[in-house]
Amino acid sequence: MTKTLLYGTALTSLAIGLALPALAQDTGTLDQRKAEEAQRRPPAYSPYVGRDFPTRPFFGDTHLHTSFSMDAGAFGARIAPRDAYRFARGEEITSNTGQPVKLSRPLDFLVVADHSDNMGFFPDLFAGKPNLLADPTGRQWYDMIQSGKGADAAMAIIVAFSHATFPKDLMYFPGTPAYHSAWQDTIDAAEEYNAPGRFTAFIGFEWTSNTGGNNLHRNVIFRDNGDKASQVEPFTVYPPYGSDNPAELWKWMQAYETKTGGNVLAIAHNGNLSNGLMFPVVEAFGKKLDSEYAETRAKWERLYEATQTKGTGEAHPFLSPNDEFAAFEIWDKGNLDGSVAKTKEMLEFEYARSAYKNGLKLEKELGTNPYTFGLVGSSDAHTGLAAMEEDNFFGKTVPQEPSPHRMMEAFINNPKTGVKVMDWEVSASGYAAVWSRENTRESLWDAMERKETYATTGPRMIVRFFGGWDFVQQDAQDRLPARIGYGKGVPMGGDLSAAPGGKAPTFLVAALKDPIGANLDRYQIVKGWLDADGSLHEKVYDVAWSGGRKPGGDGKLPPVGNTVDEPNATWTNTIGAPELIAVWEDPEFDATQPAFYYGRVIEIPTPRWTAYDGKRFGVKPLPGATMTVTERAYTSPIWYRPKP
Amino acid sequence: MRRHACLARVFMSLSLATAVTLAARAGSACGYHDDVTMARGILNWAYPDALHVLGSISSAVADRRLPAPSPAGAPPDLFGARYRETVKALEQLAKALGAAGEARPLSFSLVLIEPMLWTRFEFGEKRMRLRVHATGPERDELVLVSGEVVIDEIASGRLTIGKAHRLGLMRLYGPAVRQAQFLLAYAWIGQRPLAAATPEHTQTGSRSQQGPAPLAAATAGADIRRQSNCWGERRTACPLDH
Better-scored residue on pLDDT, A505 or A620? A505
| Helix%, strand%, coil% for chain A, nearest 5 | 25, 25, 50
Quick check: is A184 in a domain? Answer: yes
Distance from the Cα of B124 to chain A's closest Cα (Å) equals 21
Asked if residue B54 lies in contact with residue A405, where contact means CB atoms within 8 angstroms, the answer is no
3-state secondary structure of A393: strand
Nearest by CB to B51, from A71, A76, A616: name it: A76
| Inter-residue contact A27 to A486 (CB < 8 Å) | yes
Which chain B residue has the Cα nearest residue A212? Answer: B21
Q: Which of A395-399, A626-630, B204-208 has the lowest mean pLDDT?
A: B204-208
Give pLDDT tens digits for B147-173. Answer: 999 999 999 999 999 999 999 999 999
Residue B190: per-residue pLDDT: 94
Residue B6: half-sphere exposure toward Cβ, Cα within 13 Å: 29
Q: Which residues contact A627 (CB under 8 A, 6 or more apart)?
A: A564, A566, A607, A608, A610, A611, A614, A621
More confident residue, A135 or A538: A538
Query: Cβ–Cβ of B46/A145 closer than 8 Å?
Result: yes
pLDDT of A398 reads 95
**Nearest 5°: phi and psi at A637?**
-75, 165
Let me know whether A178 and A258 are in one domain. yes
Regarding whether A106 and A23 lie in a shared domain, the answer is no
Residue A412 and residue A498 in one domain: no
Q: Are residues A367 and A421 in the same domain?
A: yes
Residue A483 lies inside a defined structural domain of this protein: yes
CA distance B75 to chain A (A): 12
Residues from chain A that touch B33, judged by Cβ atoms under 8 A, are 158
Q: Write the DSSP string, A170-201.
A: G---TTSHHHHHHHHHHHHHHHHH-BTTTBEE
CB contact under 8 A, A98 and B43: no
CB within 8 Å: B73 and A96: no
Side-chain half-sphere exposure of A1, counting CA atoms within 13 A: 11
Residues composing chain A: 644
**Together in a domain, A108 and A211:** yes
- What's the CA gap between B116 and B238, in Å, rounded? 9
Query: What mean pLDDT, rounded, does chain A reach?
Result: 92
pLDDT band at residue B56 under the 50/70/90 scheme: very high
Contact A455, A428 (CB under 8 A): no
What residue of A is the nearest CA neighbor of B114? A405
Instruction: Write out chain B residues lying below 8 Å of A157, CB-based.
Output: 14
* pLDDT given for residue B191 in this prediction: 92
| pLDDT exceeds cutoff 60 at B12 | no
Residue type, A53: F
Enumerate the residues of chain B whose CB falls inside 8 A of the CB of residue A73. Answer: 41, 45
User: Scanning every residue of chain A, which has its alpha carbon at the shortest distance from the alpha carbon of B16?
Assistant: A238
How far, in Å, are A82, A425, A515, A624, B71 from residue A399 at the CA level? Answer: 21, 14, 31, 22, 19
- Could you tell me if residue A496 is inside a domain? yes
Task: Give residue-wise pLDDT tens across range A183-202.
Answer: 999 999 999 999 999 999 99
Residues A491, A367 within the same domain: no
How many angstroms separate the CA atoms of A261 and A254, rounded?
A: 10
Contact flag A620-B72 (C-beta cutoff 8 Å): yes
Containing structural domain, residue A623 = 13-51+460-641
Name the β-bridge partners of A465: A509
**pLDDT computed for residue B212 by the predictor:** 28
| Interchain contact, B31 vs A415, CB within 8 Å | yes
Interval A226-239 mean pLDDT: 95
| Interface contact flag, B51 A96, Cβ < 8 Å | yes
Contact assignment for B57 to A403 by CB distance below 8 Å = yes
Q: Which of residues 53-92 of B touch A (CB under 8 A)?
A: 53-59, 61-62, 64, 68-69, 71-73
Interface probe for B, chosen from A161, A394, A626 (most Cβ of B below 10 Å), is A161
pLDDT tens digits, residue range A397-440? 999 999 999 988 888 888 899 999 999 999 999 999 999 999 99
Residue A423 in 3-state DSSP?
helix
**Dihedrals φ, ψ of B163, to 5°?**
-70, -40
Q: What is the DSSP string of A536-594?
A: EEEEEEEEEESTT----TTSPPPP-----BTTTTB--TTSSBSEEEEEEE-TT--TTS-
If one compares B58 and B208, the residue with the highest pLDDT of the two is B58
Looking at the structure, tell me whether residues A494 and A377 fall in a common domain: no
Same domain flag for A275 and A400: yes
CA distance A134 to A170: 9
In chain B, whose CA is at the least distance from the CA of A245? B17
The confidence score (pLDDT) of residue B62 equals: 96
Least confident of A39-53, A186-200, A413-427, A518-532: A39-53
Q: Is residue A138 part of a domain?
A: no
- A392 and A515 co-located in one domain: no
Residues of B in contact with A122 (CB under 8 A): 45
- Is the predicted pLDDT of residue A373 greater than 50, yes or no? yes
The residue with greater pLDDT, B129 or A285, is A285
Interface probe with B: pick from A64, A68, A142, A162, most Cβ of B within 10 Å: A162
Nearest to A312 by CA among A630, A638, A639: A630
How would you label A394-424 residue by residue, b for 16+ Cβ within 10 Å and e otherwise?
A: bbbbbbbbbbbbbbbbbbbbbeebebbbbbb
Mean pLDDT of the region A73-95 = 96
Cβ of A115 within 8 Å of Cβ of B12? The answer is no
* Segment holding A442, helix H or strand E: helix A441-449
Residues of chain B with CATH 3.30.1050.10: 35-240
With CB atoms and an 8 Å threshold, state whether A151 touches B53: no
**pLDDT in the model for residue A50:** 83
pLDDT band at A549 (very low <50, low <70, confident <90, very high): very high
Q: Does residue B17 sit at the A interface (CB-CB below 8 Å)?
A: yes
Question: Which residues of chain B are within 8 Å of residue A336 when distances are taken between CB atoms?
Answer: 6, 8, 11-12
Per DSSP, the three-state class of B119 is strand
The mean pLDDT value for A592-621 works out to 97
pLDDT band at B14 (very low <50, low <70, confident <90, very high): very low
Residue A559: which residues within 8 A CB-CB, separation 6 or more? none
Distance from CA of B59 to the nearest CA of A (A): 8
Out of A241-250, A360-369, A476-485, pick the least confident. Answer: A476-485
Which of A74, A78, A148 is the closest to B38 by Cβ?
A74
Residue A611 dihedral angles phi and psi, to the nearest 5°: -70, -40
B13, B72, B114 ranked by CB distance to A622: nearest: B72
pLDDT recorded at residue B16:
36
The rounded distance, in Å, linking the Cα atoms of A197 and A184 is 24
Q: CB B51 to CB A620 under 8 A?
A: no
Structural domain includes residue A157: no
Quick check: A210 and B17 CB within 8 A? yes
CA A382 vs. chain centroid, Å, equals 16
What is the arithmetic mean of pLDDT over B68-77? 68
- Evaluate whether residue A297 is within a structural domain: yes
The answer to whether the beta carbons of residues B168 and B52 sit under 8 Å apart is yes
Beta-carbon separation of B135 and A152 below 8 A: yes
Least confident piece of the model among A61-65, A224-228, A322-326, B219-223 = B219-223
Please answer yes or no on whether B59 and A99 come within 8 Å at the CB atom. yes
Residues of chain B positioned with their CB less than 8 A from the CB of A211 = 17-18, 21
Residues A606 and A579 in one domain: yes
Assign B13 a pLDDT band (cuts: 50, 70, 90): very low
- What pLDDT digit, counting tens, does each position of A552-589 carry? 988 899 999 999 999 999 999 999 999 999 999 999 99
**Most confident by average pLDDT, A70-79, A125-134, A406-415, B207-216:** A70-79
B206 in Cβ contact with B218 (< 8 Å)? no
Task: Categorize the per-residue pLDDT at B71 as very low, low, confident or very high, splitting at 50, 70 and 90.
Answer: low
Residues 148-177 of B with CB under 8 A from A: 168
Query: In this complex, how many residue pairs, one in chain A and one in chain B, have their CB atoms less than 8 Å apart?
Result: 266
Decide: B236 and B164 in contact? Cβ < 8 Å: no
Q: Please check whether residue A451 lies inside any domain of the structure.
A: no
- How far apart CA A249 and CA A562 sit, in angstroms, is 46
**Residues A256-304: tens digit of each pLDDT:** 999 999 999 999 999 999 999 999 999 999 999 999 999 999 999 999 9
- Chain B residues in contact with A407 (beta carbon < 8 A): 72
Distance from CA of B50 to the nearest CA of A (A): 8
CA-CA distance, A118 to A172, in Å (whole number)?
5
Q: Looking at domain B35-240, what is its CATH homologous superfamily? A: SCP2 sterol-binding domain (3.30.1050.10)
Phi, psi of A598 (to 5 degrees): -140, 160
Residue from B33, B34, B58, B64 whose CB has the most chain A CBs within 10 Å, to mutate = B58
Number of domains in chain A: 2
Band (pLDDT 50/70/90 cuts) for residue A236 is very high
From chain A, the residues in CB contact with B63 under 8 A are none
Are residues A629 and A566 located together in one domain of the fold?
Answer: yes
On whether both A398 and A529 belong to a single domain, the answer is: no
Q: Is B13 helix (H, G, I), strand (E, B) or coil?
A: helix
Q: Among A69, A103, A91, which Cα is nearest to A431's?
A: A103
The secondary structure element, H or E, covering residue B132 is strand B128-132
- Yes or no, beta carbons of A338 and B141 under 8 Å apart: no
For B126, residues 6+ apart whose C-beta sits below 8 A from its C-beta are: none
Residue A285 in contact with residue A248, Cβ under 8 Å? no
